[in-house]
Amino acid sequence: MSLALITGSCGLVGSESALFFSKKGFDVIGIDNNARKFFFGNDGDINWIKSKLKKEIKRYFHYNLDIRNYDSIKNIFKKYNKRINVIIHCAAQPSHDWAKNKAFIDFEINAKGTLNLLELTKIYCPDTPFIFMSTNKVYGDNPNILPLVEKKTRWEIKNYHKYKNGIDESMSLDNCTHSFFGTSKAYADLVVQEYGKNVGLKTSCFRAGCITGPNHSGAKLHGFLSYLVKSSIKNKKYTLIGYKGKQVRDNIHSYDLVNCFWEYFKKPKNGEIYNTGGGRFSNCSIVEALDIIEDVKKIKIKRTILKQNRVGDHIWYISNMRKFKKDYPKWKQKFSTKKILLELIEEFSPEKFYSTY
């Protein structure tokens, strides 16, 4: 029996990975200590997802462990060792707003936790593909120096620029403001690469834009589209922070992202990096997302615009996935932003929202 070890198994990407790989015939070892509730309060509580996984996956084995604790994680690797066929590392402190006031905790989870997992992979299952959920925040606010033009509902890059089809892996990580979250994830990203290039592990970093889907426990400080839809439908109001709400995000559905993992798993490389997002196929500004919700739900959402932007926030970010598509041409993207929003709107309709949350 194939075995997938997934950290952050009850988060958006972790749970999608668990469901996906279980359907491929894998037993799933899920590691998740519900730290999201500590970060974000009840909005971040993932117990509902844990119940869903236990119900829908026949052979799901859950461990309520902290990835900062080397010895407790070691026991898992020691128990399953080379029977582990794939490692998908999604556990993280995911908010750059939260990290600013809790820098030590943020670094220990994102950096030390990742190092723990890599070292244990080297010791117990060195041939196992190691998939790391990285972030576009490793680029800091460097995307903000691009030549941008303000339009009616969004910021957009000038047509002549080399990144007009999205930002690729050539963008520098240096000489910018990252946020503390971006910095801790950058260490994790680099050390994942190092264990691939230096040690020889089959490691990969997927630098995602905005990931979304119905399994997201979206909160004010994390989970852009999920929280936006949930809050807008429930409260009929939303606060836009900086850049007139015209900042552009690309949005990749967690199902499309996990399909990337699957393609990599079948043909792993050493220490590889991939920018991963909705690209030109799936992106929107905050204003545009709210416009779609208003149109679909036939409601009016009160919008409060704050002038001060979040530290390290991107004005315009669209991922260029050319490198990944070249390496894995069988991957196909299914979800556009409109399709994603329609799914979230259905998921957070009042009758379903109040029964679920």
Helices and strands: H and E segment counts in the chain: 14, 15
Determine what percent of the chain falls in helix, strand and coil, rounding each to the nearest 5: 45, 20, 35
In the block, residue with structure tokens 């998921």: 347
pLDDT of residue 217: 57
What string of DSSP letters covers 197-238? HTS---EEEEEESEEE-TT---BTTB-HHHHHHHHHHHHSEE
Q: What CATH number is attached to the domain comprising 155?
A: 3.40.50.720
Query: Which of these, 51, 246, 20, lies nearest to 149 by C-alpha position?
Result: 246
Please tell me the pTM assigned to this model.
0.93
Both tokens of residue 68? 């900062």
pLDDT of residue 351: 52
- Report the C-alpha gap between 71 and 164 in whole angstroms: 47
Enumerate residues 6+ apart whose C-beta is below 8 A from 97. 221, 222, 310
Give the dihedral sign, CA 171/172/177/180: positive
Digit-by-digit pLDDT tens for the chain (357 residues) are 799 999 999 999 999 999 999 999 999 999 999 998 888 888 788 899 999 999 999 999 999 999 999 999 999 999 999 999 999 999 999 887 888 899 999 999 999 999 999 999 999 999 999 999 999 999 999 999 999 999 999 999 999 999 999 999 999 999 999 989 999 999 999 999 999 999 999 999 999 988 988 776 555 545 578 888 988 998 999 999 999 999 999 999 999 999 999 999 999 999 999 999 999 999 999 999 999 999 999 999 999 999 998 877 899 999 999 999 999 999 999 999 999 999 999 887 655 544 443
Both tokens of residue 278? 């909705």
pLDDT of residue 40: 83
Total domains in the fold of the chain: 1
Residue ranges making up the domain that contains 209: 2-356
Give the amino acid at 16: E
Q: How far is CA 148 from CA 63, 145, 154, 158, 316, in A?
A: 46, 8, 10, 6, 8
pLDDT of residue 355: 42
Q: What distance, in Å, lies between the first and last C-alpha atoms of the chain?
A: 35
